[in-house]
Amino acid sequence: MGLKDKLHKLKLKYKGKKMAPAFNAIHTFLYLPNETTHSGSHVRGADDLKRTMNTVIMALLPCLIFGMFNAGYQHHLAAGEIEAVANGFFSAGFWSIDNLVVGLWKVLPLVVISYGVGLGVEFLFAVIKGHEVEEGYLVTGMLVPLIVPIDTPLWMLAVAVIFGVVIGKEVFGGTGMNILNPALTIRAFLFFAYPTWMSGDKVWVHGAVERAGEIAGGAQLDAISGETVLGSLAQGKEISYSVADMFLGFIPGSVGETSAVLILLGGLFLIFTKIGSWRIMASAVLGALAMGLIFNGVVNAGWISEGSKFYSLMSTEFWHHLIIGGFAFGVVFMATDPVTASQTNKGKWIYGFLIGFISILIRVFNPAYPEGVMLAILLMNVFAPTIDHYVVQGNIKKRMKRLKLKTA
């Protein structure tokens, strides 16, 4: 008897019982469901929600693997144990086993805790409420480790995941009913509950906090800083990273957010598979560029002095905002969430544009937290239904006018 038959036998054994949702979830995760619709209209398709979620995970895997190597690379670079790579993706120094070991050591526990705690909460609610285990957390569980600092304490992550799944999704009715992106809800909880871990300038490189403590007050403090590019710009510092480094991802930051080129490839894959909305991605980029151009115009016009705390980020080349921070990752993998985003085509253009526009606005004017894409997406999640409502009402009014003209 094969594994599929054994699981199906267990499924039949526990059918109608309290633990049935748990066995059904395991069975349908590994194999296609063997139930078929016998009445009513339905569409036959080769995919289901689990397969759709797995497709998104496939798009995230390159970011995860690269992030592991980059975590080790940034650790050894900050410690002065290696020199900066010269040939980017083709450098053997970057793809070394030493870098991977550090990355695995720090990232895998984040993934395990994210999935273990999140799916545990999902299973608990499914058993208590007697419904099937929902598949929404398959993607959320992968997103969470990619958007938090590398040294985030595991207990802290576990608390945030419980909060995000319960408050961000289950209280609204579960997958498909939530109004906020669960992964961003988890990150928002971490940011507001433990701000020094999320917005501090020494937490984005593994070990930077400990090394800073060892030599506190010494002249070498800046040499082991783990702050991000945005963190440096917000403090008015000059950055030493080239455009190529920022585009390819050889910079400090969240595990999955640094490599713009891999995020771009992931976005193209989601568009090709018709899972991610190209309208939201394109309009978000246009919104960010528009806000960046406005800030560049203000600087060029001399309306803000060079000594201002906002000058550094406002004077940054408008298109650089696309490849630094978590903007690209947020737009591709979170703004396009089909549950929390706008559903109408016109609404997607408005929704995406405002995300890009507000992201750069928050990034510049909030020096304590120079990353606005999380807050911008959560804000627009709330307004997405309103946007769709007015788009639909506008279409109804246009059709009513055409009807009156024809009947007149």
Is 195 or 395 the better-scoring residue by pLDDT?
395
Report for 109-118, 167-176, 223-232: range of highest mean pLDDT = 109-118
Cα(391)–Cα(395) distance, integer angstroms? 6
Higher pLDDT, 195 or 132: 195
Band of residue 79 on the pLDDT scale cut at 50, 70, 90: confident
Mean pLDDT of 343-366: 94
Q: pLDDT value at position 234?
A: 78
Q: Is the pLDDT of residue 13 over 60?
A: no
- Tell which wins on pLDDT, 379 or 236: 379
> Per mean pLDDT, which range of 31-35, 297-301, 339-343 is the poorest?
31-35
Rounded to 5 degrees, what angle do the CA atoms 235, 366, 161 make? Answer: 105
CA atoms within 13 A on the CB side of 203: 15
Answer yes or no: is pLDDT of 405 > 90. Answer: no
List b or e across 193-221, with b for residues whose CB sees 16 or more CB atoms inside 10 angstroms: ebeebbbbbbbbbbbbbebbeeeeeeeee
CA distances from 155 to 74, 109, 117, 137, 188 (A): 24, 11, 10, 19, 16
Q: What are the domain boundaries of the chain?
A: 48-275, 277-408
- Rounded to an integer, the average pLDDT of 188-216 is 72
Contact 82, 93 (CB under 8 A): yes
Amino acid at 102: V
Confidence bin at 125 (pLDDT 50/70/90): confident
pTM, whole model, 2 decimals?
0.86
Mean pLDDT for the chain overall: 83
